[in-house]
Amino acid sequence: MEILLVILVGILYAAGIYMMFRRSMVKLLIGLLLLGNGTNILIFLMGDIAKGKPPIIAPNTSVFTDVYADPVPQALILTAIVISFALQAFAIILLKRVYQMTGSDDLDSLNTNDGDI
């Protein structure tokens, strides 16, 4: 299970960075999405996977008696997902606006202000 996730993280990072190098704005966006998901799975992996052991204490006990899943990475991922949701929503709207303004999906056509001014 873990080795599969490790490979998946690798693929997501590689694909994300590859997509970011393309000239198309949409591909850039897909690259950012893939990278974000890769990071989330990486954090999940870092917390050691314990299958079927939620970190919830039974009502009549006060300490854990068994191995349990580390809740911290889950909290981190939840926060990271919400944040990346906001960032990605913003990026999508931004790209849409730029596309409306320039009529082009090509990142290389965005250099009108990089001239000599």
Partner 1 sequence: MTSNYILAPILVQLVTAILLIFFWQRVTVQRVLSTVGNTFSFITSLILAIDIWNFGTQTLHAGNWQPPFGITFVCDALSATLILLTSIVGLAVGLFSTIGISINRIKYGYFPIFHFLLMGLQGAFLTGDLFNLYVWFEVVIISSFVLITLGGKKMQMEGAIKYVTLNILASTIFLTAIGISYGLTGTLNMADLAQKIALVENRGIVQVTALLFFVAFGIKAAVFPLYFWLPSSYHTPPSAIAAIFGGLLTKLGIYALIRMFTLIFIPDDYTINLFIIIAIMTMFTGAFGMMNKKSIRKVFSYLIVCHIGYLIAGLGLYTEKSLSGTIFYLIHDIIAKSNLFLIAGLIYKIRSSTDMRRLGGLYKDYPLLSILILFVLLSISGVPPLSGFWPKLNIISEALRSGNYTLVFSIIISSFVTLVMIAKVWAEVFWKPTPKDHPEQDDTFAPLSTFKKVTMILPVFLLAFISFMIAMRPGTFMNLSDKIANELMHSDDYIENVFRVKNIQN
Partner 2 sequence: MKSTIFKVAANYLLPLLLLFSVFVLLRGHYESGGGFVGGLIASIAFVLHFFAYGLESARSFFRFSTATLIPIGLSISLFSGILPMFAGKPFMTSLWFKKPVAIIGSVGTPLFFDIGVYLIVVGVTLTILFTISENVK
Residue selected from 20, 24, 56, 61 as contacting partner 1 according to rule CB under 8 A = 20
**Residues making contact with partner 2 (CB under 8 A):** 56, 82, 89
- For residue 55, CA distances in Å to 3, 75, 90, 117 come to 23, 12, 34, 58
Q: Which is nearer to partner 1, 15 or 76 (CB)?
A: 76
Length of the chain: 117
Q: Does 62 bind partner 1 (CB under 8 A)?
A: no
Residue 89 binding result from partner 2, partner 1, none, given CB thresholds of 5 to 8 Å by partner type: partner 2
Only segment of 37-45, 50-58, 61-69 that touches partner 1 (CB under 8 A): 37-45
- As a three-state string, the secondary structure of the chain is CHHHHHHHHHHHHHHHHHHHCCCEHHHHHHHHHHHHHHHHHHHHHHCCCCCCCCCCCCCCCCCCCCCCCCHHHHHHHHHHHHHHHHHHHHHHHHHHHHHHHHCCCEHHHCCCCCCCC
Residue 69 binding result from partner 2, partner 1, none, given CB thresholds of 5 to 8 Å by partner type: none
**Binding region for partner 1 (CB under 8 A):** 20, 25, 28, 32, 35-36, 39, 42-43, 45-47, 72-73, 76, 79-80, 83, 86-87, 90-91, 94-95, 97-98, 101-102, 107, 110-114, 116-117
